[in-house]
Structure 1
Amino acid sequence: MELNQIEQRIIGVLLEKEITTPDQYPLSLNSLTTGCNQKSNREPVLELSEAEVLDAIDGLIAKRIVVRDEAVSGRVDKYRHRFCNTEFGDLQFSEQQLAIVCVLLLRGPQTPGELRSRTNRLANFAQVSEVEQVLQDLQQQSLTQQLPRQPGKRESRYQHLFISSTEAELVSAGAEPLAESDLNSLLEEVQQLKQELAKIKQHLGL
């Protein structure tokens, strides 16, 4: 399953709010946008418009990952995920697995220690070793990956793999996943270079 940056944020917010504020779930477009732009427990902090969020929602609906609850009696439409733990879905997570995936979607690469402290509203981990075991279980399902340890750091970080194949290759090489805008810019530059190289070869008769 490939998700761009905004799609990752939307799914993370829906997972989080379903657990922490069940009385407000499913979420309206306004609530979902507010959750996406929230300054706490988000990395990076985004400033998305409702139009941008709605475009991403439409894409997720097309992928059958999000469902729209149609408005009744003049009320606003609301949205809920079908990302995991649904009757016919492939992804079935335990409470601890769901908590870790949720926070990785919201905050990107993190250490087991960071994940333990940041999942306290979603699940209970008695010690860091429990987090590490869950991460290993998810890694065996090709849903997370351990990143090379950064210089001067005691713990390695883990990254979810609900990303494009290009980003996954960068993760395997130890690089940070790029923001979608940066990745698109890089791919455009590569395409331009290929076109220029083809022109040079044609000019030289190669």
Structure 2
Amino acid sequence: MPLDPRLQPLSATEARVLATLLEKSRTVPDSYPLTLNSLVLGCNQKTSREPVMQLADAEVQQALDSLRGRALVVEIGGARVARWEHNFSRGIGVPDQSAALLGLLMLRGPQTAAELRINAERWHRFADTSSVEAFLQELAERSDEKGGPLVLLLPRAPGAREPRWAQLLCGPVDVQAFAAAAPAPRSGDALEQRVQALEAEVGQLRDLVQRLCEQLG
């Protein structure tokens, strides 16, 4: 039996187009569905994108045509210009919470459950990191009858505190490459290190003051 075309691996461009539609449907609903021009601008954003891409109108249109053939996007005819919306949750067969996590993984690359919870704030407000992990685990254990797993928990990279999750919508990932690559320091980690350093300095000053007080009687 041939593979359901909706479950065939996405190209990098298709993933960026689909994830951008997912993002904009939740973060700028007043401007959604998107025109081709707006979608291209969203795909080529320099923030919240990993990697940053520079897609041309023709590339985005080709990806849209492919995704439409797989029932993952829908063209909405307008009086002046066509607009596009995603059909991701229904097309892939996942709840909205899982769709949000998959969209973030397609847009930003592998992330920890804690990072996903923070980054999903404008997409879906998860109660806590445990709820994010529950949805990720469900996606990782997806049965073959439903198309198989959609995410994978990567080995913890050297120097990393938590393992990251990767999406499988674009096909298998190179686990060895991810395991060998240490993630860039997170701003939160740098802040925590600075707080710890300041706390240590305060502790030293407190000890010094206490010794002086004891010497002075």
Give your verdict on TM over 0.5. yes
> 2:86 corresponds to which residue?
81
Deviation at 1:90, TM superposition (A): 4.9
Over the residues paired in the alignment, what is the CA RMSD in angstroms? 1.5
1:60 aligns with 2:67: yes
Q: 1:36 aligns to what?
A: 43
3-state SS of paired residue (1:59): helix
Gaps of 5+ in 1: 177-206
TM superposition shift of 1:98: 2.3
Counterpart CA distance in 1 for 2:140 and 2:27 is: 26
Match for residue 27 of structure 1?
34
Report deviation, 1:13: 0.8
What is residue 177 of structure 2 aligned with on the other side?
Answer: 175
Partners in 2 of 1:106 and 1:145 — Cα distance?
16
How many matched pairs? 165
Q: Is the 8 A contact 1:112 1:157 kept in 2?
A: yes
Q: Which secondary structure state, in structure 2, belongs to the residue aligned with residue 175 of structure 1?
A: helix
Question: What is residue 100 of structure 2 aligned with on the other side?
Answer: 99
User: 3-state SS of the aligned residue for 1:174?
Assistant: helix
Q: Are 2:88 and 2:99, in contact at CA under 8 Å, matched by a contact in 1?
A: no
Q: Could you tell me how far apart the structure 2 residues matched to 1:114 and 1:90 are?
A: 24
Q: Write out the 4+ residue segments of structure 1 that deviate beyond 6 Å after TM superposition.
A: none
CA distance in structure 1 between the partners assigned to 2:55 and 2:159 by the alignment: 34
Tell me the CA shift for residue 42 of structure 1. 0.8
1:142-179 C-alpha deviation (Å, 9 max, x unpaired): 11111111011111110111023xxx1x44x4335xxx
**Max radius of gyration: which structure?**
2
State how far apart, in whole Å, the 1-side matches of 2:100 and 2:50 are: 16
User: What CA distance in whole angstroms lies between the structure 1 residues aligned with 2:136 and 2:176?
Assistant: 17
CA contact (8 A) 1:147 1:174 kept: no
Instruction: Decide whether the 8 Å contact of 1:149 with 1:156 is kept in 2.
Output: yes
Structure 2 CA distance for partners of 1:158 and 1:34, relative to 1, 3 Å: same
Q: In structure 2, how many angstroms separate the alpha carbons of the residues matched to 1:39 and 1:5?
A: 16
**Other-structure match for 1:109:** 110
1:71 aligns with 2:72: no
Alignment of 1:164-203 (within 5 A): 164=171, 168=172, 170-171=173-174, 173-176=175-178
Q: TM-score, normalised by structure 2?
A: 0.71
The two structures have a TM-score, normalised by structure 1, of 0.75
Query: 1:42-80, CA deviations, whole angstroms, 9 ceiling, x for partnerless residues?
Result: 1111111111111111111222211212232xx111111
Task: Output the CA distance in 2 between the equivalents of 1:90 and 1:156.
Answer: 25
Rounded Cα–Cα distance in structure 2 between residues aligned with 1:27 and 1:108: 23
CA distance in 2, matches of 1:84, 1:3: 15
Contact 2:110 2:164 in 1 (8 A): yes
The one-letter amino acid of 1:82's match is N
Question: Percent sequence identity over matched residues?
Answer: 44
Q: Distance in 1 between matches of 2:71 and 2:130?
A: 35
